[in-house]
Amino acid sequence: GPPPASVAPKFKIIKYCVLGMFGCTCGELLVGAMIGKLFSMLASSLNLILNTIIGIFLLRDDPLIGRMYAFLARTCCGPCSEQCQGGIGCLMSFIICNAITVFIDILLGGEISLIIQNFKVMLNAVDFYEAFIYWANLVCTVGALVAQIVGSVYAWLAYKEIRDSGVTSSGGDWSSGGYPQASAPRDDPPSQPPRQANFTAFAGSGNRLGN
Q: Residue 130 — φ and ψ, nearest 5°?
A: -65, -40
CB 100 within 8 A of CB 15: no
For 58-112, what is each residue's pLDDT tens digit? 999 999 999 999 999 888 887 777 777 778 888 999 999 999 999 998 888 788 8
Q: What is the pLDDT of residues 102-115, one digit of tens each?
A: 999 888 878 888 88
pLDDT tens digit string along 119-133? 888 888 888 888 899
Helix (H) or strand (E) run with residue 112 in it: helix 111-123
* Residues ≥6 apart with Cβ < 8 Å to 88: 1, 2, 3, 58, 162, 173, 174, 177, 179
CA distances from 115 to 31, 145, 158 (A): 15, 11, 30
Q: Identify the CA nearest to 78 among candidates 46, 53, 48.
A: 53
DSSP state of 77: T
Give the C-alpha separation, 140 to 84, whole Å: 29
Provide the residue type at 54 as one letter.
I
C-alpha span between 164 and 159 (Å, rounded): 9
